[in-house]
Chain A
């Protein structure tokens, strides 16, 4: 993978990141095992792009985001981040104080616009809080910035003194976005930012995020479970399964030429709004995702994989580039020999 030190366009470089949560037992809280929520993740993000991270619940996508934000202290691995002044820092080594500088540069938009805004604060206080805690500007300049941000996210400046309960889900999500943008971040972790919204509102928020990226050049890590939203917004996509990335590629390449059996199965499971396309029963995955406290040996997907062979049970595949180049990475022993099905193309031609 392109190294952050030699590639100036790479802004974030995650190496072998692990986040294990201990499982306690009994009165003495003896550790009886670990939930391996993130278990050896490698990825990189280029400046100005959107990296989509997709997977089912429990695959570790949210934990990955929280590690990058350093809301969690990772168990092992490196998170190399290129600061706006060009310096490269390993975020996993920084303490609370050392992180402070980077907290402005890495912001987050949460999933649930109902629980992620403090209901006792006004819109102005919420949006200005990152400025306040980072000691940026004075009262007047902060207020100006809030007004500017409300314009940018498509809310009226008159809303400044209102409270979150007065807004709909879509409007609250806009407030959450304005808060993330307030400190001019470089990288924004969007953790399922549209999954709580209705479809017509979801489209507004997706467009807003794209617009802001186009104008201001933000870099997004967009975590979601919805494959059509991910396809729409991402330049590149990482597919996660049981704490690991199984495939990482340019979006069109991933959907048109998937190389990992899990990616294929995931895409075949999306019900299509086009009534002509029905679910392909032969592609259905059986069973459930195994427990991340006790992942299967060998390839973690082998228990549900239709192509699994003996070697898949024995040794764990690494995430490696296929063929040539540095565009498409896959962790599968059989990636080179398998021909997998692309995501079914959906078409609805609806006039205005």
Chain B
């Protein structure tokens, strides 16, 4: 049950350690990512879940080295990428604008964004956008690349791919656009795919289609996926391993069953208790987490969740809780387990 969490070095595809990404704004410093450690096992789906502002998207952008600098800055940490037959690559040691990183980005590491309408280029056909990417990374002429693009559109379930390859994004529905986006992301057979809220903008029946598509493609290509989402239903459906984030830190990391059935961190428990579940209509009241998210400009002393935590002690308010990892690979950041 717990074998989803990587135990051996060989099982790890990508490892984020001590990542700190800050934004220096005119009002102060936002510590969006403030010491994040996440391990991405090979061939698994890691759900990164948390509420808005917890730093999940900035973690994803940091891995791709796409954080706009300034105002953003990666202050500390390492992101190690372990390709199968090559030497490990320290992503943060690469210049985000230079050849090495650009080769990695798109080919080895790809990304699907939330809003297919704003992240696709409206003045190029969907086909052109795949062709451009394929030609950057592979030695193909335009005709070959176009064949390849049609093949990709077919794989993601777009009907009549030979015609639709020449369509513009606005000619497609939301679900079709998201399929096109997935086709672009998977076009160079990446090892690591970041999906940032891939279905948030979609209706529930279309969302189900896209989730199933992602499961099938993940099986077919063996891609490791970082699935960034706020939707616990999507996590329960898709993820093998889950990292829960709060205020720029990972507070709990475990395989999906352990996390949903035996959550440890009070924040994880609070989140799971606050969602309405179908078939529990006897429960008239939800159990929300008290209070609200702290101001992102504040620097918090002690545990960042202490102010809202029903189990807080004196210690929680003064000392930052350590990351406690048990042998089975699960981890929690809370004084309750120290």
Contacts and interface: CB of A to CB of B under 8 A. Distances in A.
Nearest to B268: A350
A284 B212 contact: yes
B278 A343 contact: yes
B219 to A, nearest CB: 13
A234 to B, nearest CB: 10
A231 B175 CA distance: 26
B208 A273 contact: no
Describe A's contact surface by its main secondary structure.
loop
Contacts of A351: 269
Given A228-B277, A347-B280, A279 B286 contact: no
B132 interface: no
Interface in B274-288: 274-281, 284-288
Contact of A200 (B234, B274, B276): B274
Q: Which of B235, B239, B274, B280 has the most CB of A within 10 A?
A: B274
A275 interface: yes
Contacts of A133: none
Interface string A317-352: 000000000000000000000000001111111111
Residue in A251, A275, A281 with the greatest tally of chain B CB atoms within 10 Å: A275
Interface residues of A, number: 55
Given A56-B205, A206-B276, A210-B284, A199 B51 contact: yes
A7 interface: no
Given A198-B52, A228-B277, A288-B173, A348 B272 contact: yes
Interface in A124-170: 168, 170
Contacts of A227: 204, 278
A43 interface: no
Interface string A282-293: 001110110000
Contact of A274 (B206, B260, B273): B260
Contacts of A285: 205, 208-209
A303 interface: no
A57 B203 CA distance: 7
Interface stretch (A13-21, A69-77, A92-100, A263-271): A263-271
A275 B263 contact: no
A103 interface: no
Contacts of B272: 273, 348, 350
A171 B291 CA distance: 11
B237 A271 contact: yes
A213 to B, nearest CB: 11
A5 interface: no
B252 to A, nearest CB: 13
A352 B265 CA distance: 10
A199 B274 contact: yes
A10 to B, nearest CB: 23
B286 A232 contact: yes
Contacts of B173: 288
A279 B271 CA distance: 22
A265 B272 CA distance: 25
Contact of A278 (B207, B237, B289): B237
A207 interface: yes
Interface string B155-193: 000000000000000000101100000000000000000
A231 B292 contact: no
Nearest to A170: B292
B204 A273 contact: no
A81 to B, nearest CB: 28
Contacts of B257: 275-276
B138 interface: no
A346 B207 contact: no
Given A274-B236, A350-B263, A203 B274 contact: yes
Interface in A193-233: 198-204, 206-207, 210, 225, 227-229, 231-232
Contact of B288 (A201, A225, A266, A281): A201
Nearest to A56: B203
B197 to A, nearest CB: 13
B180 to A, nearest CB: 14
B168 to A, nearest CB: 17
B27 interface: no
B275 A199 contact: yes
Contacts of B209: 284-286
B270 interface: yes
A222 B286 CA distance: 17
B286 A273 contact: no
Nearest to B240: A275
B231 interface: yes
A272 B238 CA distance: 10
Contact of A269 (B207, B274, B278): B207
Contact of B205 (A266, A278, A344): A266
Contacts of B312: none
Contact of B277 (A200, A278, A347): A347
A207 B288 contact: yes
Given A275-B257, A348-B277, A200 B51 contact: yes
Nearest to A344: B278
A351 B263 CA distance: 9
Contacts of A255: 278-279, 281
13 contacts: A198-B293, A200-B274, A201-B292, A202-B274, A210-B285, A228-B275, A252-B281, A271-B237, A273-B277, A274-B277, A279-B237, A344-B278, A348-B277
Interface of B: 51-52, 173, 175-176, 203-209, 211-212, 230-239, 256-257, 260-261, 263, 269-281, 284-289, 292-293, 310
Interface of A: 56-57, 168, 170-171, 198-204, 206-207, 210, 225, 227-229, 231-232, 251-252, 255, 265-279, 281, 284-286, 288-289, 343-352
Given A199-B275, A271-B233, A279-B212, 6 more contacts: A206-B286, A232-B281, A252-B281, A268-B208, A273-B232, A275-B256
For the complex of A and B, the 5 pairs showing the least CB-CB separation, nearest first, are: A345-B279, A203-B288, A271-B237, A232-B276, A269-B208
